[in-house]
Structure 1
Amino acid sequence: MAVKIVAALSATLLLVTGVPASAAARAEIPCPKPKIAKPSAPPRPTPPEENAEQMAVGGEDLATHGLIVPDGAKSPPAVTATTWMVADLDTGEVLGACGPHVHQTPASVQKILLAATAIGSLDPDKQVTVVRSDLDIEPGSSAVGLVVGGKYPISTLWLGLLLNSGNDAANALARMAGGGGADGVKKTVNGMNELAASLGAYQTHAVTPSGLDGKGQFTSAYDLALIARVCFANGDFRKYVLTRSAQMPAQKKPKASGFQFQNENKLIYNYEGALGGKTGFTTLARHSYVGAAERGGRRLVVTLLGAEARPQRGWEQGAALLDWGFAQPAGSSVGSLVTPEEVAASAKAPETEAEAAPVTDETVPTAQTGSPRGLSVAAALSVAVLLALAPLLLLLTQRRKRRLAQRR
C-alpha cells in the first residue's frame, strides 16, 4: 500500500511541477563560476519546453539546472561553461555535472554526432570529388580548404573535420554518407537525429551536420557524453582526434597547392593521458568542448557548453574538470550514461504495460459521474495525502514557472 502511495505522489509531483519528486524536494545548488565581464552576444535561442522524464534520463539527481556531485566530493573548479558534465567512458558513471540535461546550442562539437553517425559506413580510402554545395558554408566560418573538383580520401576529410573543424569537410562527409546526391546532407542529418534518439540523447536535435547555427538546433552536456562514448569506441575516431597534424594533398584540376593543417584541440599537447576531443565556437553558442583522457586505467570524458574563453579557454576548463573527475574515487557517481539497450527496453515497456493492464471495475468510469466505482484504501489514502500537499505543489509550480520565465 505504501509503495502505491509513494508512486502516486511521485507521479503527481512529476505531472504538476514538471520534475521528479526527489528533484522537487532538493534545492538546486548554483554551479561554481568565476566573476568575469561577459562579452556582448546575440540573445540565446528559446529552447524547447523541458520534458521531465527526459530531464531524469540517467538518474533523477540529474534533473537539475544546478550542480550535482557525489556526497562528500570536493567542490569542482569554477568554470565559465553554462553547463558541463564529467563521466566515465567505460562504466558509464556520471561523476558530476552542472545542468546536464539543459538545452544548449552545440557549435562544432556537433561534428562528433556526424562522426558517430557516419564514420563506420564510409570507406576511409575512398576518393571523394568535392562539389560546389560542399562549400556552401557561412562566410568567415571555419573551413579546411577544400576546392571544388578536388579529389580527397575520406580519411583526409575526417582529419579536416576533427582537427581543423572544417565545415566544408562536414558537408562533403554528410553528402557522401547520405548517398552522394543532392539530398545526401539532408538524409545524413536525419540519420544523426535518429541516432541521437536511439542513444537517449533526447535534448539533441541536429539541423546542420557541422554545428553551424540552425533554428531549433540544440544539445546538452549529457547528450554529448552519450555521443562521445560512441565515438571513442571507434578506432578510426580515436586515431584521428589524436593526430597532431595532417597534410592536405595538392590538386591538379583545379590546380591547388597542398598544405599542412594542425589539430586545434590543445588538450592533446598539454594534458597527461589525453585521448582527444573536439572544440567548438559560434557567436551564438559561445565556446563548447568535448575532451577525454585516460589515467590509472580510467577513461573520463568531459563535455561543456556555453563557455567564455577568459579566464580559461574551453580545453583548459575541460582539463580542470577532468582533474577534478580523476580525483574522485572509483565508483563515485550521481547517475549513469544510459545504453542503447536500456533506451530500447524503456521504449518497449509502456507498450507492454498497456497491453498487459487488466480492465477492472476500479478503472472503468461510471456513466453518471465519470469517476471510478470504488476507491481502494490505498488510492483513498493517496488522495488524502495529495490534498494535504496541495499548497506545496502550488508553490513548486510557481517556482518552476518563474525559472522558465527567467531562462526565456
Structure 2
Amino acid sequence: MIVTPAVRHAAAGAAALLLVLPVPTAAAAPAPGHASAPAFASSAAEPTPPARSFVDPARLDRSGTQVQPLRGAPQLPSLSALSWVVADAATGEVLAARDAHRKLPPASTLKTLFALTALPHHDGGERHTVSDEELTGIGEGSSLVGVKEGYTYRVSDLWNGVFLSSGNDAVHVLAAMNGGWESMTRQMQEKARALGARDTHVVSPDGYDAPGQVSSAYDLAVFGRAGLQDPGFTRYCSTRYADFPAGSWSYGIANTNRLLTGADGVARYPGLIGIKNGYTSGAGNTLVVGARRGARTLVASVMNPQGGGGFAVYEEARDLLDWGFEAAGRVQPVGSLAPAKAPRKNEGGTVRAAARNVNRAGPEAGDTAPSGAAAPAPAPHRQAAPTGRTAGLPLALVGAALGAALSLWLWRRFGARGN
C-alpha cells in the first residue's frame, strides 16, 4: 500500500478534527434548509399568549355591571340607564359596561348604522332632486328637517338633516338613492354583522319604533367607534349648526345633541366630538357620544335612563366619559368592540398538511448541505438524516475522520507487506 504525502496530511487533519468537533446535543437547532419535524411544526403555530391579563370574551354577556378596577381606579358613577358601555375608541377596549348586550329599541341612534352603510355611496357635492315617492311612508310624529318634493339638494345637505335634525325625511330620500327602503334595511343588517354587532335587528332604517327592531349599548358603541374612523361621518356628527336649503333661501338648523351645543341648560362637554342622540316613546332617550381629551378618545352609549328627566341621558353620558378618562390605565378591559376574527378556511390545516408532506417526502426532502460545507461521500445505503434534534453534517464529519484515522493505523501496521 503506497501512501502519498497528501493522504498522510488528510488523515492527520481528519484525526485532529475528531478531537475538536463538538458532540451534537438534543437541543441543537435544525440546520438551515432542513424541514422541522412534524412535532415542532404544530407547536410553532400556537399563538403567543398576550402580555395583559386574560379578558373573558363572555364577560359582557353577563347581566349587571362589569368592571375590573386596578389600584387607584376611580369609583364608577351611579347610573339609572338600563344599559350602557364606555370604551376606548382607538383600541376598542371596553372599560366598563352594564347589560351591554341587552336588546332594546334604539330610536334615532340607529341612524349611526344607516350612515355607516349609505355614506360611502354618494359624494357630498352630488345634487339630487326629490320625488314625491321618496317621501312616502314616513312615520307619524317623526322628526323632520323639512325636505320638500321637487327641490334639489346636495347630498351633504341631506346628511346635515340626518345628523343635526335627525330628519326621517332626509333618511327616506337617502335610502331611495341607495336602493330603496327594503334594500337599505338588508344592507344595514349586513353592515351590522360585518362590524360584529350581533344584537341589532333592523326593521326601519330611520330608527322609528317598529315591532322587532332592537339594538344594544354594545352595538351602538360599535357603530359609534366605526363612525369616528370615517372623516365624513365625524364631520357631520360634530357639526353644531348648518344652513338647510329651501329653494331660493335657507334656514338654520341646530344639532339636537345637547352635550355638543349646550342647549336647554345642558352644559357642553369639553372635547365632545358628537355622534347621535335619539328618542321615541318606545325607546326612551338613547345616546352615543365620542369625546377626545389629549391623545385619548372615548366612545360611550347610554340607553333609556330610568330617572332624572328627559336630559338625564346627557348627564349620565357625561359621568361615564369623566370616569373613563380618569380610569385610563387603572382598569383592566372587560371586553372589546373589535369584531372577533374568524379563522381562515385553511388556517389550522396548514400545519397538518406540512406535517403530512414531511412524512410523505421522507427525511431527504430539502436535505441540502450548508453553503461552503463539503457534501458527505456517497454511500451504497444512505441513512436517514437526523431532523430537528440532531445535525446530520457533524456526524458525517465524525464518521469520515474515524475512517481516515483507521486507514492510517492499518497502513502503519500492515503497509510494508504490500511493497
TM-score band by shorter chain is 0.5 to 0.7
The aligned amino acid for 1:94 is: V
Query: Which runs of structure 2 are paired with 1:107-186 in the superposition (5 Å)?
Result: 107-135=107-135, 136-178=137-179, 184-186=180-182
Contact 1:110 1:209 (C-alpha < 8 Å) held by counterparts: yes
* 2:285 maps to 1:293: no
The aligned amino acid for 2:221 is: A
CA distance in 2, matches of 1:99, 1:142: 29
The aligned amino acid for 1:150 is: Y
Partner of 1:67: 65
The aligned amino acid for 2:216 is: S
Contact 1:276 1:292 (C-alpha < 8 Å) held by counterparts: yes
Contact 1:247 1:258 (C-alpha < 8 Å) held by counterparts: yes
Query: Which runs of structure 2 are paired with 1:90-101 in the superposition (5 Å)?
Result: 90-101=90-101
CA distance in 1, matches of 2:346, 2:84: 30
Q: Any idea what SS the aligned residue of 1:84 has? A: strand
**Alpha-carbon distance, 1:75 to partner:** 3.4
The aligned amino acid for 2:329 is: A
CA distance in 2, matches of 1:152, 1:65: 46
The alpha-carbon distance between structure 1 residues 86 and 58, as it changes in their structure 2 partners (threshold 3 A), is farther
CA distance in 1, matches of 2:209, 2:96: 28
Structure 1 residue runs of 5 or longer lacking an equivalent are: 1-56, 179-183, 357-408
The alpha-carbon distance between structure 1 residues 206 and 351, as it changes in their structure 2 partners (threshold 3 A), is farther
CA distance in 2, matches of 1:107, 1:349: 42
What is the percent sequence identity of the aligned residues? 38
CA distance in 2, matches of 1:299, 1:226: 14
Partner of 1:5: none
CA distance in 2, matches of 1:291, 1:115: 15
CA distance in 2, matches of 1:329, 1:83: 22
The alpha-carbon distance between structure 1 residues 113 and 324, as it changes in their structure 2 partners (threshold 3 A), is same
Deviates more, 1:311-320 or 1:193-202: 311-320
Contact 2:277 2:288 (C-alpha < 8 Å) held by counterparts: yes
TM-score (norm 1): 0.66
**Alpha-carbon distance, 1:308 to partner:** 4.6
Partner of 1:336: 335
CA distance in 2, matches of 1:214, 1:349: 42
Partner of 1:361: none
Q: Any idea what SS the aligned residue of 1:240 has? A: helix
**Alpha-carbon distance, 1:322 to partner:** 0.5
CA distance in 2, matches of 1:344, 1:192: 21
After superposition, give the CA deviation of every residue in 1:252-277 in whole Å (9 maximum; x if it has no partner): 6xxxx521110111222311111111
* 2:240 maps to 1:239: no
Q: Any idea what SS the aligned residue of 1:280 has? A: strand
**Alpha-carbon distance, 1:338 to partner:** 4.4
The alpha-carbon distance between structure 1 residues 243 and 64, as it changes in their structure 2 partners (threshold 3 A), is same
Contact 1:279 1:314 (C-alpha < 8 Å) held by counterparts: no
Max radius of gyration: which structure?
2
CA distance in 1, matches of 2:123, 2:56: 34
**Alpha-carbon distance, 1:343 to partner:** 3.8
Partner of 2:321: 322
Partner of 2:104: 104
Q: Any idea what SS the aligned residue of 1:268 has? A: helix
The aligned amino acid for 2:218 is: Y
CA distance in 1, matches of 2:337, 2:86: 14
Contact 1:93 1:331 (C-alpha < 8 Å) held by counterparts: no
Q: Size of the alignment, in residue pairs?
A: 288
Contact 2:84 2:301 (C-alpha < 8 Å) held by counterparts: yes
TM-score (norm 2): 0.64
CA distance in 2, matches of 1:100, 1:159: 30
**Alpha-carbon distance, 1:128 to partner:** 1.6
CA distance in 2, matches of 1:76, 1:231: 26
CA distance in 1, matches of 2:314, 2:279: 12
Query: Which runs of structure 2 are paired with 1:2-401 in the superposition (5 Å)?
Result: 59-72=57-70, 73-135=73-135, 136-178=137-179, 184-251=180-247, 257-269=249-261, 270-308=268-306, 310-311=308-309, 312-330=311-329, 332-340=331-339, 342-345=340-343
Higher relative contact order structure (alpha carbons within 8 Å, sequence separation ≥ 6): 2
The aligned amino acid for 2:176 is: R
The alpha-carbon distance between structure 1 residues 265 and 332, as it changes in their structure 2 partners (threshold 3 A), is same
Q: Any idea what SS the aligned residue of 1:91 has? A: coil
**Alpha-carbon distance, 1:349 to partner:** 9.2
The alpha-carbon distance between structure 1 residues 153 and 281, as it changes in their structure 2 partners (threshold 3 A), is same
Contact 2:304 2:313 (C-alpha < 8 Å) held by counterparts: no
The aligned amino acid for 2:65 is: L
Contact 1:107 1:211 (C-alpha < 8 Å) held by counterparts: yes
The alpha-carbon distance between structure 1 residues 331 and 227, as it changes in their structure 2 partners (threshold 3 A), is farther
CA distance in 2, matches of 1:352, 1:163: 51
CA distance in 1, matches of 2:326, 2:124: 38
CA distance in 1, matches of 2:178, 2:332: 37
Contact 1:83 1:98 (C-alpha < 8 Å) held by counterparts: yes
The alpha-carbon distance between structure 1 residues 290 and 349, as it changes in their structure 2 partners (threshold 3 A), is farther
The aligned amino acid for 1:75 is: Q
Contact 2:109 2:278 (C-alpha < 8 Å) held by counterparts: yes
CA distance in 1, matches of 2:347, 2:210: 33
Contact 1:125 1:155 (C-alpha < 8 Å) held by counterparts: yes
After superposition, give the CA deviation of every residue in 1:306-347 in whole Å (9 maximum; x if it has no partner): 22572443222211110011110327333333434x34438x
Q: Any idea what SS the aligned residue of 2:290 has? A: strand
After superposition, give the CA deviation of every residue in 1:39-94 in whole Å (9 maximum; x if it has no partner): xxxxxxxxxxxxxxxxxx98222121200112344432222210000001101110
CA distance in 2, matches of 1:241, 1:206: 21
Q: CA RMSD in A?
A: 2.4
